[in-house]
């Protein structure tokens, strides 16, 4: 399991932040918010997931992921 910081965003402002362990960034986001997620697109309210692993980010393995929650 990897360590992630999951942040609920409103525009570019962090509303809430929580650290968790999960297998994937998708899993970390879903675990913290309790709902399914998909890629952010142009959503104003979104979820930023930061990989806390001590590795250099690359194009294929970024360290920041952007999602939005599905449903209500």
Q: How do the domains of the chain map onto residue ranges?
A: 2-69
- Find how far residue 68's CA is from the centre of its chain: 9
Return d(Cα 45, Cα 48) in angstroms, integer: 10
Percent of the chain with pLDDT strictly greater than 70: 99
Strand-pair partners of 7: 17, 48
pTM for the whole structure:
0.88
Structure tokens at 30: 């879903």
Q: If 0-12 CB within 10 Å is exposed, 13-18 middle and 19+ buried, where does residue 58 land?
A: exposed
Positive or negative, the CA dihedral 51, 54, 59, 61 is: negative
Mean pLDDT value across the chain: 92
């Amino acid at each position: 399991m990897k360590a992630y910081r999951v942040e609920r965003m409103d525009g570019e402002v962090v509303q809430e932040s929580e650290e968790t362990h999960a297998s994937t960034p998708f899993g970390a986001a879903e675990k913290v918010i309790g709902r399914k997620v998909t890629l952010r697109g142009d959503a104003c309210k979104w979820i930023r997931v930061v990989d806390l692993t001590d590795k250099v980010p690359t194009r294929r393995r970024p360290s920041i992921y952007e999602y939005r929650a599905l449903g209500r």
